[in-house]
Each structure stands twice: as structure tokens, then as C-alpha cells.
Copies of this chain bind each other. A is one copy, B any other.
């Protein structure tokens, strides 16, 4: 393991520990229904790489603040991500029984509880963003707007709708990109932007540069996901390998070929790294995260 790789692992481990502790603490508070709360905890605390929280905290660091400054938006974006996975896995959607090597929420509990747990996690994300004493009111509002748009019909949910419509259809590379810009890209962009928005010095040029970086990373993340679906090991990726192919979902490798997809991934990584050229060592965690997104094995 190189020095860079070990620094990245250290940063990711620290983010994960902070975020997991905060999520664990906060979903412990009494809920109206014990079963609902258990389902929420099962879905949120059952592992996960916490890539979005790490991107959020790395962005706060890139703006010159401590990574801890972005702990609340880091958790909020993970709550939205967790809710989207629960709903994605439902029988009416992707109908997946396995996630991160464990039964999906509707299998471990039941479908109704899974739907409600997802709904509650989305509400909780906005509750946290609005109740974050670490940042001023205008920044909190900006983050609520950012997350609401990224999560909604013009962002993540819109992308999931396009995804459902595109199964079994021949689509172009541009259409595939539009789908992913919404489905995964919007939330990754929001992760980075929220981290930057809670910084003390919200320099607009730096925010723009981070946004450009996040857009490239969002697509790179999806290309790597598609490659892992073909090349990855079922045990490591936590879901049946080749499941996209089996569902006739359009992917980057199916449109560009394996080599073409790998080249596309490298080009996106270069784009992400170049957008950070005006930043000093304060952007090193974000640079490391960019490398990690592309190199990850699951």
C-alpha cells in the first residue's frame, strides 16, 4: 500500500467512524414505533462505505475548514442515500434480496415497514440539516435547498424514473449520461457542495471548481459501478455479479465496450483532478477520494 493509499484509508476510516457514531446516536432517540426505528437503524447502520459523507467532509476541508464542520450534512446525505437504497430494492422497483451481503430491508422486515423507513429517513435528513448549530441560518437553508433538489424529481428520484423507463430499451450514451447525472450524480454533487456551503469562507470560484470536480466524480462513480458489475466478485460487491446484464440495463461497458468504459473512467478522473489545480494541500483528501472512487473494488 502506497503512502497515498494509506492516507486515503485513514481519512475514510476517520469519516466513517465520525459519521457512524453520529448516525447511531441520533437514530437512537425514541420513535413512535420500535419496529420502524429498528428498520431505520438496520438500513443506515448496516455497513456502507460512506463515500458521500467522506466527499462532503473532504469538500469542507478543501474550503479551509475542519472536516468535522460538515458532519451534519455528511450524515444527512447518507440518510438520503440509505432511503433511496431501501426503496430501490423493493419488489416493485429492482426487487433485490441482497444488499451489502445482508437481506434487504423489506426482506429483513416487511415491505410496508421498508417503505415507511425510507420515508422517515428522508424527513430525518432535512430535520438534521435545519437543526445544525455549527453553521449560520443562511448556509443551513442553502443546504436544505441543495439536498432537496438533488434528491427530488429533478435529481435522484428523476434519475430512478428514467432508469425504470430505460430497462430493455436501446439508449444512447448521452441518454445514459443524463440518467446517471440524475440518479447518482446529483447526490454526489450535493455531497460536495454541501460540504463547501458550510465552510466559513464560501468563495464562489472555489465552490464552482468543487462543483465541476463533483460532476466528473459522479459520472466516474457510475462507470466504475458498471465495470464492477462485470469484473467484480459477488462476495466483494455484496450483490450478484452480472445483475445489470441479467436485467438488460444499459451500462457504460455495453455502450462503449470494456476498454472504452475504462478509458472514459480515466478521462473523468483527470477532469476531476484538473478542476482542483488551484487548490493547495487542503484539497488532498478530496483528491484522494477521487482516486478512491475510481480504484475501489466494491
Contacts and interface: CB of A to CB of B under 8 A. Distances in A.
A112 interface: yes
Given A115-B87, A158-B32, A145 B120 contact: no
B113 A161 contact: yes
Nearest to A139: B137
A153 interface: yes
Judged by DSSP, the binding face of A is: helix
Interface in A26-51: 29-33, 35-37, 40
Interface of A: 29-33, 35-37, 40, 83-84, 87, 90, 92-93, 110-113, 115-116, 118-120, 122-124, 126-127, 129-131, 137-138, 140-141, 144-145, 147-149, 151-155, 157-162, 164-165, 178, 182
17 contacts: A32-B161, A32-B162, A33-B162, A90-B112, A92-B112, A93-B115, A113-B161, A116-B164, A120-B157, A122-B123, A127-B145, A127-B152, A129-B144, A130-B145, A137-B138, A137-B141, A140-B141
